[in-house]
Each structure stands twice: as structure tokens, then as C-alpha cells.
Amino acid sequence: MNEKATFDRGRSQAATHPKFLSVWDIQAYYGESYIVQGVSFDIHEGEILALLGRNGAGKTSTLRTIARLDNPALRHGEIWLDHQPLHKMKAHEAAANGIALVPEDRRIIPGLTVEENLKLAQIAPPVGWSLERIYDLFPRLGERRRQEGVTLSGGEQQMLAIARALARDIKVLLLDEPYEGLAPVIVQEIAKTLNVIRDQGITTVIVEQNAVAALKLADRAVILDTGSVVYDGLAQEVLEDEALRQQYLAI
């Protein structure tokens, strides 16, 4: 482990339970650009982790590396999910092992209704939540099931993007800026839903520019700066530590 990974004050009680997702010293590159510079953190099952840091800190690149997308390319380190070596897998294998990345642009498929977007996600086995269970969690999607997905509001599209991940059998939800461009009341609604999803046993990593909203939701926080971990601890501690927030989050 590098020195930065020893920031360990305030681990949650879950630290006594076995690690679920373990990211160890991952180093990843876009071509020759060294971007993810030895990131390590652990998440316990059912936790919500806020992955924070300024623009360009490497948050999206870290999520993409965990999801095993080709770029940035992982050249060093290990990623373990529920005893499976994700670092040895391609993106489709990581997905089959329970990783779901909801990218910033949400990627709702044009020309398909809400329900068709969900059914398409269910094509890939193993199938996760039923449509009934999804509509139970997202009543707005149920009401709009026959509406074209791309005509939904921003908040509803984000709900559809999350719902589509749940339509597969996932263990870990990686969310890249889910609150971007959404009104505070919609942010609250999505946060409530993410709490329900946590209660159903799914582990979540949330990347957000809206750090306060993410910290209120999360159990723990990891802060990145220039591709390295500069803080790993309780979300509540970051909320209370103004100096830390100013230094790394500019809030």
C-alpha cells in the first residue's frame, strides 16, 4: 500500500466485517497519461461511499477502471468484488459479476419507451429486479412506462438509468454525478431511492460535484486529488471538517 492509502481515521463499524469491494493500488492510463495514480479503498456490503474531489481529480476515470472499461487502461493494482478478481476481467465479465456503471450522460436509448429500455437491460442474464419491483421503487417510471425514455425529465431519466442497472442482477452500483442538473427536490427524491436500494443490499459508489448532498447520503467518503486518495473516512467527518472541504472540495 502506498502512504496515501493509510488515511484511515474514522472507518465505519462495518470495517470489522469482511471487505466486499476492494480496490488496491490501481494505476490507470489514457495512452501515456498517468491518471489514476495508485488509488486504494474498501467498501463493505451495503455501504454507500461518496467518491469526491475537484474537477479532473480522477473520479470518472476511477469508476471506469473499476467497471473495467478499456480506457483508462489498468496497468497495476487489483480490484476484488466478493472474492472475484475484477482486475483480470473485461468490462462484460465485470458486468456479469455484478458491477453496473451509470455514466454521467445516462445513455437512455432513443426511440425506446421506458419499459423497452428496462426490458433491453433484462436481456442479459442473470436478470435482476422484475419490472413490478422497479415500478414499485420508481412509481414515476411506472406511470410513464409507455413514454419514450429520452422525453422524460432529467430526474426521471436518471431514475431510468438507475432502474436499468437494477434490471440486471447487480451487487455494486457506480453512479457518476447522478444529481447533475437536477433541482434540489428531485435530488432528495433520488437520495431517498438510493437509501431504499441500499436497504435491499446493494453497495453504491456515488461520484458527485454536489458534495454536500452526496455526503449526507453516504456512510463513508474517499477524496481524490490528482489521481490519488487524500482522505478516507466517515462522510459525517467531512461534513464537519471545513478546512478539509475547502482544501479538496472547494466548498
Ligand X SMILES: Nc1ncnc2c1ncn2[C@@H]1O[C@H](COP(=O)(O)OP(=O)(O)O)[C@@H](O)[C@H]1O
> Interface with Mg ion by CB under 5 A: which residues?
59-60
# residues contacting ligand X (CB under 6 A): 12
Q: Count helices and strands (H / E) in the chain.
A: 10, 10
Nearest approach, Cβ of 15 to ligand X (angstroms)?
A: 26
The yes or no reply on residue 30 touching ligand X (CB under 6 A) is yes
Q: Which three cell numbers stand for residue 95?
A: 458486468
Using CB under 6 A as the binding rule, the residues of this chain from 38 to 97 that contact ligand X are 53, 55-61, 71
Q: Which among 148, 145, 161 has a CA at the least distance from the CA of 100?
A: 161
Nearer to ligand X by Cβ, of 67 and 166: the residue is: 67
Q: Is 184 exposed, middle or buried (0-12, 13-18, 19+ CB in 10 A)?
A: exposed
Nearer to ligand X by Cβ, of 59 and 87: the residue is: 59
Nearest approach, Cβ of 60 to ligand X (angstroms)?
A: 3
Instruction: With beta carbons less than 8 A apart as the criterion, state whether 20 and 44 touch.
Output: yes
Nearer to ligand X by Cβ, of 43 and 57: the residue is: 57
Nearest approach, Cβ of 51 to ligand X (angstroms)?
A: 9
Instruction: With beta carbons less than 8 A apart as the criterion, state whether 21 and 203 touch.
Output: yes
Nearer to ligand X by Cβ, of 165 and 222: the residue is: 222
Nearest approach, Cβ of 55 to ligand X (angstroms)?
A: 5
Separation of alpha carbons 203 and 52, rounded Å: 17
Nearer to ligand X by Cβ, of 60 and 157: the residue is: 60
Measured on CA atoms in the order 108, 114, 118, 121, is the torsion positive or negative? Answer: negative
Residues that bind ligand X in the complex, under the rule CB under 6 A: 30, 33, 35, 53, 55-61, 71
